[in-house]
Amino acid sequence: MSEDLLRALPRARRYARALVGSQEAGDALVREALLALRRAPPEQGGEQGGTAALLALYRAVSARVPESPPLPGGGLTPLERQVLLLTSLEGLNPEAAAAVLGRDAGEVAAIAAAARERLREGAQAEVLIVEDEPIIAMDLGQLVAACGHRVAGIAATQSEAVALARSLNPTLILADINLGKGGDGKAAVAEILREMSVPVIFVTAYPERLLTGEALEPAFVVTKPFDPMTLAIATYQAVTGGLRLG
């Protein structure tokens, strides 16, 4: 495997996991994409080096998502989910996202705009925020509310997060990794998940540390700093469970 592909793997894993809603299914999708690229290496386009490898991986992952009609109840289509994840979570411009999806850039921009308007139609969640910085926690709460969800509670420490999860039974957890003197957000989530099944979005400045594919890791990772739309699509995917490919 080329060094460029190796460097692209964490971001490809983040995209695939968020797309299908789990570490296991997302990493399996990336493995299939890598095998496909080995059998048929992509033609060199206008991109160079690491960018070309990353877009090739995104393209190979996306090619394994079947086109489907809108979901019952007005949910986002697979194409709309891919466009939002590529342009928001992964930060691609419409031209790059269009190249990944084999679409026209204007079409991709229009799909993204329409899908953003319908994000609030997803199921609403009761969100437990795990964040030790009060101002950041308050900002996250406002963003969560703007996405159409309700803040069930805010925990500043590892022990408080576990206790609140037990008492509140949240339907979504939004957790920072580093809780300072209050402990470890990842450890808190691991303890919570031993007692209940709930989707988790991790917020971190170092996403590559959570995207190695070598251990139990989150399906949803948002990189600090992020904009409201990034959180909106991540929460939508988490609450709706991502795509089911078969």
The reported pTM is: 0.82
| Whether the Cβ atoms of residue 73 and residue 21 lie closer than 8 Å to each other | no
Phi-psi region at 91: left, alpha or beta (left = phi > 0; alpha = psi -120 to 50): left
pLDDT at 148: 84
2: part of which helix (H) or strand (E)? none
Final residue in a domain of this structure, among 21, 41, 65: 65
- For residues 234 and 193, membership in a common domain is answered with yes
> pLDDT exceeding 70 applies to what percent of the chain?
87
246 is a domain residue:
no
pLDDT at 154: 97
- Please compute the mean of the pLDDT values over residues 76-101 and round it to a whole number: 92
Please count the structural domains in the chain.
3
- Please compute the mean of the pLDDT values over residues 102-127 and round it to a whole number: 88
- For residues 92 and 126, membership in a common domain is answered with no
- Please compute the mean of the pLDDT values over residues 126-138 and round it to a whole number: 94
- For residues 51 and 75, membership in a common domain is answered with no
| pLDDT confidence band for 22 (50 / 70 / 90) | confident
- For residues 109 and 190, membership in a common domain is answered with no
245 is a domain residue:
no
- Please compute the mean of the pLDDT values over residues 92-115 and round it to a whole number: 94
198 is a domain residue:
yes
Q: For position 91, which CATH number holds?
A: 1.10.10
| pLDDT confidence band for 2 (50 / 70 / 90) | confident
- For residues 219 and 136, membership in a common domain is answered with yes
Q: Encode pLDDT of 38-57 as tens digits.
A: 887 766 555 555 788 899 99
Q: Encode pLDDT of 182-221 as tens digits.
A: 888 889 999 999 999 999 999 887 777 666 666 667 788 8
CA-CA distance, 6 to 98, in Å (whole number)?
Answer: 23
CA-CA distance, 176 to 81, in Å (whole number)?
Answer: 24
Helices (DSSP H) in 118-217: which residue ranges? 134-146, 158-168, 185-193
- For residues 38 and 135, membership in a common domain is answered with no
Which range of 10-14, 42-46, 236-240 scores highest in mean pLDDT? It is 10-14
Q: For position 22, which CATH number holds?
A: 1.10.1740.10
CA-CA distance, 178 to 203, in Å (whole number)?
Answer: 9
pLDDT at 216: 63
- For residues 171 and 231, membership in a common domain is answered with yes
Task: Lowest mean pLDDT of 12-26, 45-59, 163-177, name the range.
Answer: 45-59
Q: What is the DSSP letter of 210?
A: G
CA-CA distance, 169 to 51, in Å (whole number)?
Answer: 42
- For residues 98 and 151, membership in a common domain is answered with no
pLDDT at 48: 54
- For residues 40 and 97, membership in a common domain is answered with no
207 is a domain residue:
yes
Peptide bond into 134 cis (omega under 30): no
Final residue in a domain of this structure, among 65, 80, 102: 65
Q: Determine the structural domain holding residue 6 and report its residue range.
A: 1-65
Which range of 31-45, 68-82, 114-128 scores highest in mean pLDDT? It is 114-128
- For residues 131 and 231, membership in a common domain is answered with yes
- For residues 126 and 201, membership in a common domain is answered with yes
pLDDT at 109: 94
Residue 134, pLDDT above cutoff 90: yes
Q: Encode pLDDT of 28-38 as tens digits.
A: 999 999 998 88
| Whether the Cβ atoms of residue 178 and residue 133 lie closer than 8 Å to each other | no
- For residues 216 and 203, membership in a common domain is answered with yes
Residue 93, pLDDT above cutoff 90: yes
pLDDT at 47: 54
Residue 59, pLDDT above cutoff 90: yes
Q: Position of tokens 């959570």?
A: 210
CA-CA distance, 112 to 96, in Å (whole number)?
Answer: 13
CA-CA distance, 235 to 88, in Å (whole number)?
Answer: 12
pLDDT at 74: 58
